[in-house]
A and B are shown apart, each in its own frame.
Chain A
Amino acid sequence: MMNRKALDLWVGVFVAIGLGALLFLALKVGNLASFSAAETYLVKANFDNIGGLKKRAPVKSAGVVVGRVEDIVFDTENYEAMVAFSIEKRYEFPKDTSAKILTAGLLGEQYIGLAAGGDTAKLKGGDKLKITQSAVVLENLISQFLFNKAADGGKETK
């Protein structure tokens, strides 16, 4: 039978490796490190169509992640989607900043891209962005393309 000291040592090593693995998962594999507890402010924006935007999708400006999508609801007053997203406090944006829903790559996930305007007043928590651009819906693009083709084809045969 192993003595108490050796037993404690081995169990200690075991628990340490286990906790180390959890820490590795949290910091290196997961996004706990980048998910900073930085203070944020909430901004809203209405979109005609959000496409496949999801909660927790990144909000980027010039390609840098500045926040996350917090909530998406359907606004029954004007039948638009209302997206609330948080931006880290250290990033300030002009009041006339515009928001677009963009896609990472051809089939990648969708995110909100912010383009700063020229206003001197800054965005505050609870503000609503006025200039927005909806997600590109592939089906609409294709049907537009087909309509154009058909129109062109009609001209050529004349």
Chain B
Amino acid sequence: MSGLNGVLERLGGRATSSIHRLGFASRFLLLTLRNSGMCFRRFSLVIREIYFAGVLSLIIILVSGLFVGMVLGLQGYDTLVRYGSSSALGVLVALSLVRELGPVVAGLLFASRAGSAITAEIGLMKATEQLAAMEMMAVDPIARVIAPRFWAGVISMPLLAAMFSGMGVFGGYLVGVQLIGVDAGSFWSQMQDSVDFSEDILNGVIKSVVFGIAVTWIAVFEGYDAPPTAEGVSGATTRTVVTSSLSILALDFMLTAFMFRGA
């Protein structure tokens, strides 16, 4: 009987602690937003973080985009040619990239490339008491450290997703048109016929902005909340990647359900 009680106790403890963390995370997001005035007045702070979050993720995003597009081209052709509609390859590649794969895969890569780095950096700053030192010097660490990283992530993510989609379409073109020999005219014209600017492209951009907010929010929060030890920082980095990847996929399902309800 006492064993069951222990299990229940642990279960309840875990539930309350995760609700505590959710509450703290929400308060933390509000605090970050309220203290972001300074990083827009000193925009060089944000620029430095865009360099670390965005520019350094450029290679992995562009290369993965190219390969995902090329795979889509090959697999899409293989399926479409059975129905004699290989000219719709451009539509398939562009729609799957712009609507889903671009924002989602770019978001997952961004979470593991940039999100983990943000968490580790902030966690180490906390462990080495740099954040406490800032507070001693009457510098708000949230305005000076957290907000610039948050906004840099929110700005970088849609740009990275757009690059991923653009590169993917180019990869699909390389494989479909240059390698397999689908007609270039029908590839582009059918694509332009069925990809709608507001319906598909803008919705993709909205998705990537939402993912950017989610990933950087989780990353800065996990860093700020990390226990100031070596294991604490490593655990927080792992949690950032796991939590943000799962939230990207869950959010993607919800956004897709809202945006493309077969209308």
Contact = CB atoms under 8 A, between A and B. Distances in A.
Nearest to A7: B51
Nearest to A14: B55
Nearest to A19: B159
Interface in A16-48: 17-22, 24-26, 28-35
A131 interface: no
A24 B166 contact: yes
Contacts of A8: 47
Contacts of B50: 11, 14-15
B108 interface: no
B120 interface: no
A8 B55 CA distance: 11
B55 A31 contact: no
B109 to A, nearest CB: 15
Given A24-B166, A35-B197, A18 B160 contact: yes
Contacts of B204: 25
Contacts of B159: 14-15, 17-19, 21-22
B171 interface: no
B54 interface: yes
A99 to B, nearest CB: 21
A19 B158 CA distance: 10
A2, A14, A35 pick with most chain B CB within 10 angstroms: A14
Contact of B162 (A2, A21, A32): A21
Main secondary structure of the interface of B (DSSP, over half): helix
B163 interface: yes
B191 A29 contact: yes
Contacts of B165: 21, 25, 29
B200 A30 contact: yes
A76 B109 CA distance: 53
B196 A30 contact: yes
A149 interface: no
Interface residues of B, number: 31
Q: Which size class do A's interface residues fall under?
A: 20 to 34
Contacts of A13: 55
A26 B197 contact: yes
Interface in B19-72: 44, 47-48, 50-51, 54-55, 58
Given A10-B51, A11-B51, A22-B205, A29 B158 contact: no
B121 to A, nearest CB: 14
B94 A29 contact: yes
B201 A25 contact: yes
Contacts of A56: 196
A31 B195 contact: yes
B57 to A, nearest CB: 9
Contacts of A17: 58, 159, 163
Interface string B188-203: 1001110111001100
A4 interface: yes
Contacts of B195: 29-31
Given A11-B50, A15-B159, A29 B58 contact: no
5 contacts: A11-B47, A21-B162, A21-B165, A25-B166, A28-B188
Given A18-B160, A30-B197, 4 more contacts: A21-B166, A25-B169, A25-B201, A31-B192
Interface of A: 2, 4, 7-8, 10-11, 13-15, 17-22, 24-26, 28-35, 56, 58
